[in-house]
Amino acid sequence: MQEYQPRFKLARRILFPYTGEEPLTRAQEVRVIVSWATIFPVALLVGTLPIVALFSSSNASLQKIAFILLLVFVGGVVIFGLMAWFVVFMINRSARLLQRQKAQKSARISNFSGGRYGS
């Protein structure tokens, strides 16, 4: 049987390289949050540049253009940072529940001795 190959290797490796079967460490949590809070806002900023180019052709001041770009970037950092924190929180919560269920299941199996009639 062939091992599962994820479809988007590079994106997954950068944005969330963990399986979710065990809780993330603090360093892993910080890595996920920082990567989401920088990669997505930079993409938003690059996508905003053509709109800003239209503003600059209509004699908008450099301060207005810089303010718009700063607002887009900081807003993206806040939104995607909070979203990444929520994803990390839920992944850790589900991983802990999964570990707890596995521990309870293995405890039930290990306490089982000899079948229905105790043989």
Is residue 89 situated within a structural domain?
Answer: yes
5 domain residue, yes or no:
no
Is 10 inside any structural domain? no
Q: Exposure of 35 by Cβ count < 10 A (0-12 exposed, 13-18 middle, 19+ buried)?
A: middle
Residue 40 covered by a domain: yes
Residue 59 above 90 pLDDT?
Answer: no
What are the b/e assignments for 57-89, b being 16+ CB within 10 Å? eeeeeeeeeeeeeeebbeebbeebbeebeebbe
Q: Mean pLDDT for the chain?
A: 84
5-10, long-range: CB < 8 A, 24+ apart: none
The confidence score (pLDDT) of residue 107 equals: 77
Q: What is the pLDDT of residue 4?
A: 60
pTM, entire model: 0.74
Q: How many domains does the chain have?
A: 1
> What's CA 52's distance to the chain center, in Å?
29
The domain of 46 spans 24-102
Task: Examine residue 7 and state whether it is found in any structural domain, yes or no.
Answer: no
Q: What's residue 30's pLDDT?
A: 92
pLDDT level of residue 3 (50, 70, 90 thresholds): low
- Binned at pLDDT 50, 70 and 90, residue 86 comes out as very high
Is there a domain that residue 114 lies in?
no
Tell me whether residue 66 is in a domain. yes
Instruction: Give percent of the chain above pLDDT 90.
Output: 42
Instruction: Summarize pLDDT for 30-40 with one digit per residue, the tens.
Output: 999 999 999 99
Helices and strands (DSSP H and E) totals, the chain: 3, 0
Q: Kindly tell me if the per-residue pLDDT of 115 is higher than 60.
A: no
